[in-house]
Amino acid sequence: MALVKFGGGVVQMSGSIAGDTFARNRYGNYVRARTKPTNPNTPLQQAARSALSSLTVRWSQVLTDAQRIAWNLYGSSVTMKNRLGENTFLTGFNHYVRSNSILVRLGETPVDAGPVIYELPEADPLFAITGSEATQVITCAYDDTLEWDNETGGHLVVFQGSPQNAQRNFFGGPWRLMDSVAGVAGTPVASPLLGAAVFAVAETQRVWCYGRILRADGRMSAPFRSDCAIGA
């Protein structure tokens, strides 16, 4: 489904209509032929789908009415951005799955109680990556003074993008979950995170990673990015 913004005609579009896909990058709006993605049904895809399926059942059959109401109140109170950059609101179910799908993939217990702080966690302003072909390790520096790192149940989760040629200036995917840091109350985990590359990297390639912060109360931040040229 495409999002369309009208003004003196069509101001902006995002998504697909018929055989065309509309999007925007740093150079402006563009349109391309729509392509149908393949479905290799890899173990990673299966794990992601299993997490979504289990959370859907959990929302309807395990959460209490009070817990669902709390998530819905959180959703109606927190402003998000859609693909057109406009303010919008997600449902409580959307937020519940958005946060807990990552926790499930990390092997953690879902957070069922809805958050009572009506704002997203802050992004990490110090997030920066470097990488090495020799070690196949991506080093992720982060701000270890942020609150998530000093609470049990807080997490920094990092996703790696597939490597690109050095001249590439932007990247939209695919991404894979690479690694995470679990916060510990009283003894914050020192930066950096040393993550094993989930896509093999080679010297001079350019790689993007993005991070998200998960708080113990179930709130999840917007993504924040960093990129680097891979070293020897």
**pLDDT tens per residue, range 46-58:** 777 888 889 999 9
* Spatial separation of the C-alpha atoms in residues 178 and 174, rounded to whole Å: 12
Summary mean pLDDT of the chain: 88
Whole-number pLDDT of residue 47? 74
Task: Average the pLDDT over 6-20 and give the result.
Answer: 60
Is beta strand 20-25 parallel, antiparallel or unpaired with respect to 9-17? antiparallel
3-state secondary structure of 228: strand
For residues 4-39, one letter each, b for 16 or more C-beta atoms within 10 angstroms of the residue's C-beta and e for the rest, the string is eeeeeeeebbbebeeeebbeeeeeeeeeeeeeeeee
Whole-number pLDDT of residue 129? 98
Report, at the CATH architecture level, how domain 128-229 is classified.
Sandwich (2.60)
Q: Which residue has the higher pLDDT, 224 or 24?
A: 224
The pair of three-digit structure tokens given for residue 218, joined into one six-digit string: 């179930």
3-state secondary structure of 51: helix
Give percent of the chain with pLDDT exceeding 90.
Answer: 69
Strand partners, 22: 15, 31
Q: Where in the chain is the domain with CATH 2.60.40?
A: 128-229
Residue 42: exposure state from Cβ atoms within 10 A (0-12, 13-18, ≥19): exposed
Encode pLDDT of 91-101 as tens digits.
999 999 999 99
pLDDT over threshold 60, residue 3: no
The pair of three-digit structure tokens given for residue 13, joined into one six-digit string: 């579009």
pLDDT-derived band of residue 85, with 50, 70 and 90 as boundaries? Answer: confident
- Structure pTM? 0.81
